Structures are given as structure tokens and as C-alpha cells.
Amino acid sequence: MRKRIIAGNWKMNKTMEDGLALASKVTNMAVDEVSSDVTMVMCTPAIHLSPVASITKDVTNVSVGAQNMSEHESGAYTGDLAADMIVSTGASFVIIGHSERREYHFETNQQLADRVKLAVTKGLTPLFCCGESLDTREANDHVNYVNTQLKESLFDLSAEDMKKVVIAYEPIWAIGTGVTASSDQAQEMHLSIRNSLAGQFGQEVANEISILYGGSMKPSNAQELLAQPDVDGGLIGGASLKARDFVDIAKSY
């Protein structure tokens, strides 16, 4: 069975104190309220990784992830974060290729391919983000656009490594806008992503890969989105900053 994953992307929010308070709340609520079949992940700013990993370390279904990672192993890359550093904090996930990183930091599909490969080699689970802009959707080119993102960043992986990757479909027009993709739109794209993976890696591999939806997911719309057969979880921005909302989304299964 595919893993069900509810991941929160804190983005550039929370001071140390506020972040640790949020992580403690989420972890305690998850223990009391969330099914052990659901993996919750908090993708925090780099400074929070180590202390948040200490908070979650005894809770099997709550994990910690970074929001970005360098394609280089180490060296003179000021401000960047290496895979080994992430691993050394106790984090086990890393977001790769978020649309905000692609847009503001000009990350390319090839760079992201290198990062995904390195993350897998180091034992981190990449949360690989893909998704189209509003212009691309209005031009009815979204399927083709996302397929190119998958092809250029993931299709060089071996089937064994591909199984270790989690995909997050995040239509850019739905991120932080309050506009969510309808459950039909999400299902259509998730199925298309799975079919594309099946074409490259075989149906058996494709069936094992969790594909998360991201973009204005909140407690009021999570149930309908998560009920779609190819939606295996969520990558949540704004609503992951409130423990109650984030945990309620994880309880929507």
C-alpha cells in the first residue's frame, strides 16, 4: 500500500521559539489523535531542523524535513545546505524543486535531478515538487508541462531509487491563493503523473509512489481531495502553521 503522507511546509515562517512551540503541539496532538498509518512531516527552516527532530524522535509517524538542499556534497557554497548536514540533524525528508525556489532562485530541472539523486543516495526522502502556472493551465499545456518536469528531473533514476521519491503536485495558481484545485482537477493530474511514471518505470513501481497534492489545502477541503484514488496525501503551507489545522488535515483520511 502507498504511504499516506501529510507534510507541512513552514516556508520562511516562525522564530526559534514559535517553531519549537508549534512542533511540540503538533507532535503531542499527532500522538493522541492521528492514525499511525499516516506519516506527518514538518518541513522547517534549516535552523529548526535539529531541535524539531529532537522533539519528534520518539514518535514513529512524525518526521522532519528540510525545504531545500544543495546538489553539491560540501564546499564553498555560502548559505547552502548539504545533504549530510540535513541527515545529521535527524531529519529524513527534503523538499526539492518547490515552485518558489524554481521562481526566485532559478533552479533548473537538471539541478533538481542532481539533488534528487544525491538525496536518495544519502538516505533522505525527496519530496519532489512539480506543477504548472496559471498561464500554462489556461493554455491547456499543464499535462505536457508537468511531464517535462518529471522527465527532466526524475527519469534518470533507477526504478529502485524512484520508489524512494515522493512527488508533490502543486499547481502554482493554487499556492497561497486560497484557490484550491478541484478534486477532479487534482485527480486528473495525479493520474496523469502516475501514468507517466508507469510509462518510464512500469506500473508496479508507479503504484508504489505517493503523490501528494499541495495548494491551499485546509481542513475544510482536505477530505474531498484526499478521497481521490491517486491523491496520497498533502503538502501544506499556510495551514501547517497552525497545529490544530495541520492535525485536522491529517485526520481527514
The catalytic residue among 48, 98, 142, 190 is: 98
The catalytic residue among 100, 107, 132, 170 is: 170
Beta bridge partners of 40: 6, 62
> Do residues 116 and 70 touch, judged by C-beta distance below 8 A?
no
State yes or no: residue 97 binds ligand 13P (CB under 6 A).
no
Question: How is residue 136 written as a grid cell?
Answer: 500554462
Q: From 21-29, 137-145, 220-228, 233-241, give the range in contact with ligand 13P by CB under 6 A.
A: 233-241
d(CA 72, CA 67): 16
> Do residues 251 and 234 touch, judged by C-beta distance below 8 A?
no
Q: From 58-66, 107-115, 214-222, 225-233, give the range in contact with ligand 13P by CB under 6 A.
A: 214-222
List all residues 6 or more positions away from 92 whose beta carbon is below 8 Å from its beta carbon: 63, 64, 65, 123, 124, 125
Q: For ligand 13P, what does the binding mask look like between residues 56 and 95, x meaning CB under 6 A?
A: ----------------------------------------
Distance set, CA 149 to CA 60, 105, 131, 172 (Å): 32, 16, 8, 14
Q: From 151-159, 196-204, 222-230, 234-242, give the range in contact with ligand 13P by CB under 6 A.
A: 234-242
d(CA 198, CA 115): 22
Which of 235, 247, 249, 250 forms a contact with ligand 13P (CB under 6 A)? 235
How many other CB atoms sit within 10 Å of the CB of residue 139?
A: 12
State yes or no: residue 131 binds ligand 13P (CB under 6 A).
no
190 flagged as catalytic = no
d(CA 83, CA 57): 19
Nearer to ligand 13P, 150 or 201 (CB): 150
Count the site residues for ligand 13P by CB under 6 A.
Answer: 14
State yes or no: residue 29 binds ligand 13P (CB under 6 A).
no
Cα of first residue to Cα of last residue in the chain, in angstroms, is 15
Nearer to ligand 13P, 43 or 62 (CB): 43
107 flagged as catalytic = no
State yes or no: residue 175 binds ligand 13P (CB under 6 A).
yes
Nearer to ligand 13P, 34 or 175 (CB): 175
Q: From 30-38, 198-206, 212-220, 222-230, give the range in contact with ligand 13P by CB under 6 A.
A: 212-220
Distance set, CA 194 to CA 66, 133, 157, 244 (Å): 25, 20, 16, 31
List all residues 6 or more positions away from 72 whose beta carbon is below 8 Å from its beta carbon: 80, 82
State yes or no: residue 216 binds ligand 13P (CB under 6 A).
yes
Residues that bind ligand 13P (CB under 6 A): 9, 98, 170, 175-176, 214-217, 235-239
Catalytic residues: 98, 170
